[in-house]
Amino acid sequence: MAHSPLIGSILERKPFSKPSAPSEATTKTGFPAVQHRSQRAFARARGQPQKRARDVPVVQSSNVVPPPRPVSTSPFEENDWRVQIEEENRRRVEAMTEEEREQEKVEIFEKFGPSIAEVLRRAREARESKQKKSEGEKVGTEPSSSNTPASAKTGGEEAGTSLSPPSSPSRPRSERTRSLTSVLRSSSPSPTSSSSTRPPSRSGRKIRFADVTPSDIHVYESAPPSPRKKALALPPPSASDDQVVSLGTWKPPAQFRSPVVPLAASLEAESEASQEVAGKVGALEEGTPEDIRRRFFPTAPANDPSLEWMRGTGTAEREPETESSTPTIRFDLTGTPIPAHLSNSLPTHLGLHHHAEGSHAGYTLEDIFLLSRSTVPAQRASMLGVLAKIAHKLARTSVDKKKGIPELVGQEIALRKRLLAAGAEAIGERASVGARAVELLWECTSQWDEDLKSVDGVETKDLDRGEALSSLPLDYLLPQIANALSVAELPHESLLQLLAVLHRLAQHSNSIATEIVKTKNLIPSIFQRFLLTPIPPTDDSPFPNPLALKFLCLLAASSRENASALVDPADSLLRFVITLPTSSPYPLPLATQLLSETLIFYATLASYGFYAHVTTTAQEYFLQISKYIRSADCQSSQLRGAWLRALEAWTVCARDPHRTTPSHEVLWSQVVGWGWAEDMLELRIQLNTSDEETWARLWSALAAFLEGAKVNGVRGGEEERALVLGALKDDFAFGTQKQVVELALKWAREALGKLSAGMRQGILASDVPSLRDVDRHAGTLASAMRLFLSCFSESPGDTLIAPPFNLPFGDLSSVCAVITTHPLWTSLYTPQSIPYGHLLCRPLSTLLASYLQLSRKIPGTSPDLWMAQGFAILCRLFPGDEAVGERTVADIAETITADFLRARGWSVPEDIWEKGGMDVIVPFLTQSLRAKGEQVIGPAWSTPQSIATATTQRLPPLSSLQPNDQRDYPLPLTKDWMFCPLDHLLKSGESEVFKNLPDSWNASEAEVVRATLLFVRVSQEVLRYHRLNDFLMSREEVAFGCMKVFMLEHGQQQDDSAEEVFRDTIVGRLMTELLAPFSASASAKTLKTPPPSIHTSDSIDVVAKRFLGNAVPFYQWYTDFVGLYDAISFAHPLFARLLLSPLSMRYPADYRKYLWADFNHVLRTIRTAPEDVVTGSIAEYLWPVETDAEVVGAYLRALVKGSLEGFVRLVAVHHIACNIWPDLGSVGEERTKKLLKAVLVQGGLEAIRDVVLYRQNREGTVVLPPACFEQPGKWRAQRLDFAGKSGEDVRERLTNLLEGKAN
């Protein structure tokens, strides 16, 4: 060059303050950087143009250890050299002569074309604006984003050829953004490249080289690779090693450090300029597709779609940015979610990149599900393993946020289904895939609800929200499991997991349990695998597993047919019985456990009356066991309990040999002969106060023996009683047993206190421990009472002369009172409650039931107190207690006699007693306590009846016991159950009772109704008298019950009103008495306004649902009711009162519309006075004001047309007045004027006067007519003003009314 060019070559310059980091210069060395795979070398090669050859190598003195660069580089530092260049250029230009400058200009224009000045100016502007911006925002700027214009300047010579108009419209936007990003990226230092920078070699300096430098290791630590892999890498240099030269500190790529002003946003914001610059730079880079095209294929069209793939990375690379805003969770191989910021930076050798979207480490759920169906077994197995771990975490998400995966909250149910499906699909595979599939199933079933493991007495269907378990393809799954168990290829752990899965499935529902039993070869395999292990055990054979016995118990408890299917294989379990635990080949604890589980299994079979013959066939062994248990060698309370339980079950079987299946399997004489009772009494010596549960079992078993002796023993079992009493009486008075009872009472009270303190919305999982405590003590107390009761001889009407032994009666009754009225019974059904709460309440209802029997024997209990207790406790019984319930109901009905009522001063017409009194309805009452379906649930204490009839020993799920549904199980009873004879009359076609009535029964409908209403009335009276207010029926329940009486006439053909039941004087009187406490006149509270916003009792449509079911809405019932009133009522006053119930503003407008609009003509026959309305709040009918135009129109029509009277008139006037007058809350629209005119034009004098003068309080007390028409006040003038607005004539008409009376 003859003269120094204006644009010169670039020389090395000294940095002002800080040397640029080596990473900065990585790709400028002239050598290809060593690139780690995680940097997506290929993608980079395409996306990032090579810049080598053009950059001056950065020479760095090695004795200057560069300080670690701050994370975000300030643009000032970047600009140091640029300022320097600028300064230099300026000086040079200044030094030139005028001609020289002119010549240079021409030269440049020649080279670059006339627009170069414009281009450069714009580039400069862009740079400046960008700089300003980055200064202002201080976001981690891309170091080279301000760098690029400079390179445009410096590289201008070469670029000249390819310089294109930057804002050419032909360049699509994606191209521009691509090149921008690629530029941005190119500048971000790659983690590994720092090592490739060749350091200056100086003698005497040791430099350590490694392919993977120590700093690389630091990067990946957040997701630890396997320990083995870590050992491969060099450890980081120790701080003391001063021989080490740092090669710089690794910085994560800028876009991960801080999300560089979201790219999209900056693109929008940063004006054309920056894009142009970027576009220009992109074009300047060598090796880009565009560059190649221009150079070598100038004729080819730009943006050829068939060459799209060449720049395809542009969009792909943008994904991380968009994704980081909405992260999908990625999991590593341990099922742990990888944080979003790490998933981009993790290296690929961890094995986390084997999925379609290659740039992120870790697998999304979808990836895992996809790979879990892989045909490569290893892959499939590992993915199933990941799923299992995810399932483990997922199950704990709702409980514990830390252990779980909070990102997936709310999706647990849907995912559980999918997880189960994935596991079930792979269950048939062999080897590790099968094992992992089993593990996955295990995590999704038995491990999912851990707190459920000991809940065997109830079907847990409700716990399975979203029906994940019911969705399992059992007809496929179970044979596979059977196969897996019989082949036993899988490791023993997997087989155990399979057992646990089966256990959980059997817990789910009885029908699944039945399917399990029916599955071919499944039960035999379980026996083979877990129970019939070789004796003596060899080294490699597993021990028998007590869990399998538990599982068998569960199956047996689930249904009668399952139990009978298990009777045959039960023989093989005798192997655990014939050797005593002490001489067993197994370790003592295991042998003891096996023996006790076997005994419990036998007891479960005996609760259906099965397999009792084992007592005969294995009698020597049982004698041996009994001896062992009585000896001091036996320390296991579990074994004692199991033994006593089995004895109790067999004793019950022996009581009536015809009830067992097959009959006569065990005989009473044998029971006596074996001396079980003596054995049991002897066992007592071994027990002390801490063996509470064993005591309970012992008492219960002894009671069963005494109950049997009453039937089978000589002279009603007198000797046996004497024997037992002789042994126990003193102990109950002074000894251990007294203490046991007292302690149980004390602890029960404490635990109950704890429960009621925390219980608000429902029985939560945290309440379970205290509830279990209460259960245990309640069980003890109940057993003690059972024993006490069994010591009575069976002569009827025999009250206590002298108690057989002492029990603390006072304390017992107070505890029972606390339990009966405890809030836990109502909170049982709230949606927050655990779905097996009723199982935990079962011992309590057993306690209450036995207390009820005890209470009858205590001399201090008056018949009415006992009756009140009976009515209360009946509401606390659960399915399985039907027998107790029936007996109680029959006893109560027996107690209600003419004498009983006369003694209490209640006069009841003799007619009722002449027709047989309560006997008329007893068949209905007892029948309605029996289950409607085929399921008969065994009671907690089996009886000879139950062992013959019970079909299952497990409680149904809670959802089938909801009080407000129509249910198959009559228990637990609702408070209005006493109306049930009416239900049978109303549904006489389908009622079972009528088919089974005794021949002597010949009562008429009216007599049944009379007796029912009397029964209801008595129940309410005694409950109220004894302050058991919780058990009183609500207003809605009584109202609906009375509606049933009227509805008996619905659809009847007779046309004589004399036959109508509701006209019967006694029926009418009883109904009036029942409704009296619920009428408005009963309490001054009913006049309060505003009406209560929260209703403590169920609304009438909810109450009706119990009877009507889901198919018939209450509205339909109400329309029938109104229709009946219209047809036959002759304006019966009580009928009319009941019509008004659902008309309050609490209920939807449809009811009001129906009566007021569709049956407008009947309203004049409803002459109910406001005091007689069956309601808790008159205000409920008045506020809020009716807004439904149709109903208001109907009010108006009824008011102007007919002579409305009483309450209906008040309602009509109120709502019309409130819709007209502003002082009552009307907003004064056009409609109100229209309404006012309509009243004035159509209404009679009375109607107009009432509407105009009506005044009501919004708060305080409701004013009833006539007072509501006579209130003085300013409002009269206001109303007159308001009326004046709708016309002078209106004002005139109202002047007299409003002013005449005001003074």
> What type of residue sits at position 292?
I
Region near other proteins per CB under 8 A, out of 192-200, 253-261, 387-395, 1121-1129: 1121-1129
- Minimum CB separation of residue 1005 from other proteins in Å reads 16
**Closest approach of other proteins to the CB of residue 1058, in Å:** 5
Report in angstroms how near the CB of residue 1061 gets to other proteins at its nearest.
Answer: 12
Exposed e or buried b for every residue in 143-173, given b needs 16+ CB within 10 A?
bbbbbbbbbbbbbbeebeebbeebeeeebee
Q: Does position 1057 bind other proteins by CB under 8 A? A: yes
Hey, what amino acid is at 1014? Answer: L
Q: Which residue, 1029 or 1053, is less far from other proteins as judged by CB? A: 1053
Q: Would you call 1162 helix, strand, or coil by DSSP?
A: helix
Element housing 1088 (H / E): strand 1088-1089
Q: Which tokens belong to 1020?
A: 């309410």
Count of C-beta atoms within a 10 Å radius of residue 183 = 25
Among 207, 264, 1131, 1277, binds other proteins (CB under 8 A): 1131
How near is the Cβ of 1246 to other proteins at its closest, in Å?
13
- Judged by CB under 8 A, the stretch of 11-19, 37-45, 690-698, 1129-1137 that binds other proteins is 1129-1137
- Which of residues 1009 and 1192 has its CB atom nearest to other proteins in the complex? 1192
1162 binds other proteins (CB under 8 A): yes
Q: Which of residues 1224-1263 bind other proteins (CB under 8 A)?
A: 1231, 1234-1235, 1237-1238, 1241-1242
Q: Which of 1200, 1252, 1262, 1268 binds other proteins (CB under 8 A)?
A: 1200
Span near other proteins by CB under 8 A; candidates 198-206, 389-397, 582-590, 1051-1059:
1051-1059
Query: How is residue 718 written in tokens?
Result: 């007198």
Question: Is residue 1119 at the binding interface for other proteins, with CB under 8 A as the rule?
Answer: no
In this chain, which of 146, 651, 1129, 1144 binds other proteins, going by CB under 8 A?
1129
Identity at 1099, one-letter amino acid code: S
Burial 1015-1035 (b: 16+ CB within 10 A, else e): bbbbbbbbbeebebeebbbbb
Residue from 1185, 1197, 1216 nearest 1155 by CA? 1197
Q: Answer yes or no whether residue 1206 interacts with other proteins by CB under 8 A.
A: no
SS3 sequence, 98-129?
HHHHHHHHHHHHHHHCCCHHHHHHHHHHHHHH
State the minimum distance, in angstroms, from the CB of residue 1167 to other proteins. 9
* Nearest to other proteins of 1040, 1135 (CB atom): 1135
- Which residue, 74 or 1203, has its beta carbon nearer to other proteins? 1203
**Residue with token string 């067999």:** 650
Which residues are registered as beta bridge partners of 1174?
1079
The residue (of 490 and 1200) whose beta carbon lies closer to other proteins is 1200
Residue of the chain from 199, 1077, 1113, 1202 that contacts other proteins (CB under 8 A)? 1202
- CB of residue 781 vs other proteins: minimum separation in angstroms? 56
Q: Per the structure block, which two tokens stand in for 502? A: 């089966």
Q: What is the DSSP letter of 1125?
A: H
In the bound complex, what is the minimum distance in angstroms from residue 827's beta carbon to other proteins?
46
Based on the shown chain and the rule CB under 8 A, indicate whether residue 1212 belongs to the binding site for other proteins. Answer: no
- Report the first-to-last Cα separation within the chain, whole angstroms: 119
The span of 190-198, 294-302, 910-918, 1200-1208 binding other proteins (CB under 8 A) equals 1200-1208
Nearest residue (CB) to other proteins, 462 versus 1188: 1188
What is the dihedral angle through the alpha carbons of 53, 55, 57, 60, rounded to the nearest 10 degrees? -170
What DSSP assignment string belongs to 493-544?
HHHHHHHHHHHHHHHH-HHHHHHHHHSTTHHHHHIIIII---SS--TTSPPP
Q: Is the CB of 208 or the CB of 1197 nearer to other proteins?
A: 1197
Beta bridge mates, 1079: 1174
Tokens read off for 1069: 């009187």
Task: Kindly state whether residue 1134 participates in binding other proteins, applying the rule CB under 8 A.
Answer: no
To other proteins, the closest distance from the beta carbon of 1230 in angstroms equals 11
Which of 31, 42, 297, 1130: binder of other proteins (CB under 8 A)? Answer: 1130
Asked if residue 1058 binds other proteins (CB under 8 A), the reply is yes
Q: Which CB atom, from 291 or from 1158, has the smaller least distance to other proteins?
A: 1158
* Helix pair 1005-1025, 1065-1075: axis angle to 10 deg: 30
List b or e across 82-95, with b for residues whose CB sees 16 or more CB atoms inside 10 angstroms: beebeeeeeeeeee
Q: How many helices (H) and strands (E) does the chain have?
A: 61, 5
The site string for other proteins over 1164-1193 (x = CB under 8 A, - otherwise) reads xx-----------------------xx-xx
CA–CA distance, 570 with 581 (Å, rounded to integer): 19
**Residue range at the interface with other proteins (CB under 8 A); choices 897-905, 950-958, 1020-1028, 1053-1061:** 1053-1061
Q: Which stretch binds other proteins (CB under 8 A): 113-121, 925-933, 1074-1082, 1128-1136?
A: 1128-1136
Count of residues engaged in binding other proteins, rule: CB under 8 A: 35
Using the rule CB under 8 A, is 348 a contact of other proteins? no
Contact between 1203 and other proteins by CB under 8 A: the answer reads: yes
Instruction: Return the number of the residue (908 or 1200) whose C-beta is nearest other proteins.
Output: 1200
Query: Residue 958 has which token pair?
Result: 């809670």
According to CB under 8 A, which one of 97, 454, 1053, 1096 is a site residue for other proteins?
1053
Question: What is the bridge-based pairing of β-strands 330-331 and 363-364?
Answer: antiparallel
Going 447 to 448 to 453 to 459, the CA torsion angle's sign is negative
CA distance 757 to 770: 11
**Contact status: 853 vs other proteins (CB under 8 A):** no
Structural tokens at position 573: 């379990």
Nearest-approach distance from CB 1127 to other proteins, in angstroms: 3
**Angle, vertex CA 199, rays to CA 196 and CA 200, nearest 5:** 150
1197 is a contact residue toward other proteins (CB under 8 A): yes
Q: Scanning the structure block, which residue is given the tokens 């142009």?
A: 276
**From candidates 418, 1063, 1088, 1301, binder to other proteins by CB under 8 A:** 1063
1128 part of the interface to other proteins, by CB under 8 A:
yes
Q: Is the Cβ of residue 743 or residue 1238 nearer to other proteins in the bound state?
A: 1238
Residue 175 or 1172: which CB sits closer to other proteins? 1172
291 or 1126, CB closer to other proteins? 1126
Q: Kindly calculate the radius of gyration of the chain based on its CA atoms and give it in whole angstroms.
A: 45
Q: Closer to other proteins by CB, 495 or 1162: give it.
A: 1162
Please report whether residue 1056 would count as binding other proteins according to CB under 8 A.
Answer: yes
Q: Based on CB atoms, which residue is closest to other proteins, 884 or 1290? A: 1290
Q: How far is the CB of 1123 from other proteins (least distance, A)?
A: 8
User: What is each CA distance from 1125 to 87, 225, 657, 713, 1049, in whole angstroms?
Assistant: 106, 82, 58, 63, 10
Residue appearing with tokens 């670039």: 10
**Distance between CA atoms of 328 and 1084, rounded to whole angstroms?**
62
What single letter denotes the amino acid at residue 23?
A: S
Smallest separation (angstroms) from other proteins to the CB of 1052: 8
CA angle 497, 499, 500 (to 5 degrees): 65
**Residue 458 in 3-state DSSP?**
strand
| Alpha-carbon 990 to chain mean position | 37
Least distance from other proteins to the Cβ atom of residue 1265, Å: 20
Closer to other proteins by CB, 269 or 1241: give it. Answer: 1241
Asked if residue 1291 binds other proteins (CB under 8 A), the reply is: no
CA distances from 678 to 265, 639, 709, 844, 1011 (A): 90, 18, 14, 30, 50
| Interface with other proteins (CB under 8 A) | 1053, 1055-1058, 1063, 1123, 1125-1131, 1161-1162, 1164-1165, 1189-1190, 1192-1193, 1196-1197, 1200-1203, 1231, 1234-1235, 1237-1238, 1241-1242
